[in-house]
Amino acid sequence: MKLDARSIGLVIAGAILAIATVWIHYEVKAKLAPVAGLGLGLDGMSGGYSKFEIGDQIPDFKSSTLHGGSIALSDFRDQQVVVLDFWATWCTPCVKGMPALQEMHEEFGGRGVKVLAVNVGEDAETVQEFIDREGYSFDVVMDPFDDIKDAFGVGGIPQLFIVDKSGHLQFSKVGGAVSSAQAKAQANKLGALLEKLLQEVPTAASS
């Protein structure tokens, strides 16, 4: 059967659409690949977005805490594993993840893990009211102008980073768990990772 020009055009358009669909599928799948095989990403999907890869040296930052003190990531170099959680009070997934962050702080805080909740773009009064109301005791780092957020390439929150004693990235995840089962599984994996990192001897940081 002979096809007219319109039919041929439709066939070609369909083929292009099919190829584009397959390409987009694999591009998205690659970007959402699990980071070091751990964690749940955006809306429960595996992986997360980060400008850094596992093993990369994380840049230092200096900022102020919620209580007005100064703080730098390098303060903990060679001494503690650092958990950085980027969040805001208006972010529902962030707020839902705070109890787990508090549990992490209570379980590992006295054993060499420093939990830092990096608040993005809010004023101290708003953040203090939230922290007081919920009774959280981990340290809050203020990032009112998104300087730390931009340095870490954070495009969405919540986003969690775990940095080893030598200042190298060991875990990165964007988004929160979508069920209690996923949250529990994630907490177990992160707990196991922290236990492992606490046993490691710091290595020389690259310049």
The confidence score (pLDDT) of residue 82 equals 97
DSSP-based three-state secondary structure for 168: strand
Task: State the Cα–Cα distance between residues 175 and 47, nearest whole angstrom.
Answer: 9
Residue 65: its H or E element:
strand 62-65
- pLDDT over 90 at 30, yes or no: no
> Out of 3-17, 51-65, 79-93, which region has the weakest mean confidence (pLDDT)?
3-17
Task: State the Cα–Cα distance between residues 26 and 148, nearest whole angstrom.
Answer: 31
Fold classification of 38-199 (topology level): Glutaredoxin (3.40.30)
Cis before 144 (ω within 30)? no
Query: CB within 8 A of 177, min separation 6: which ones?
Result: 40, 44, 97, 183, 185, 186
- pLDDT over 80 at 46, yes or no: no
Residue carrying structure tokens 């203020």: 142
- Whole-model pTM: value is 0.73
> Out of 43-47, 125-129, 173-177, which region has the weakest mean confidence (pLDDT)?
43-47
Contact 46, 77 (CB under 8 A): no
pLDDT digits (tens, 9 = 90+) for 173-182: 988 866 667 7
pLDDT digits (tens, 9 = 90+) for 140-181: 999 999 999 999 999 899 999 999 999 999 999 988 866 667
Contact 47, 35 (CB under 8 A): yes
The residue-averaged pLDDT of 21-26 equals 42
> Out of 39-48, 140-149, 178-187, which region has the weakest mean confidence (pLDDT)?
39-48
The confidence score (pLDDT) of residue 10 equals 63
Locate 52 and state its tokens.
Answer: 């850094």
Locate 118 and state its tokens.
Answer: 């990096």
Percent of the chain with pLDDT over 90: 60
Instruction: Tell me the angle at which helices 180-199 and 92-108 cross, rounded to the nearest 10 degrees.
Output: 40
The residue-averaged pLDDT of 45-71 equals 82
pLDDT digits (tens, 9 = 90+) for 94-110: 999 899 999 999 999 99
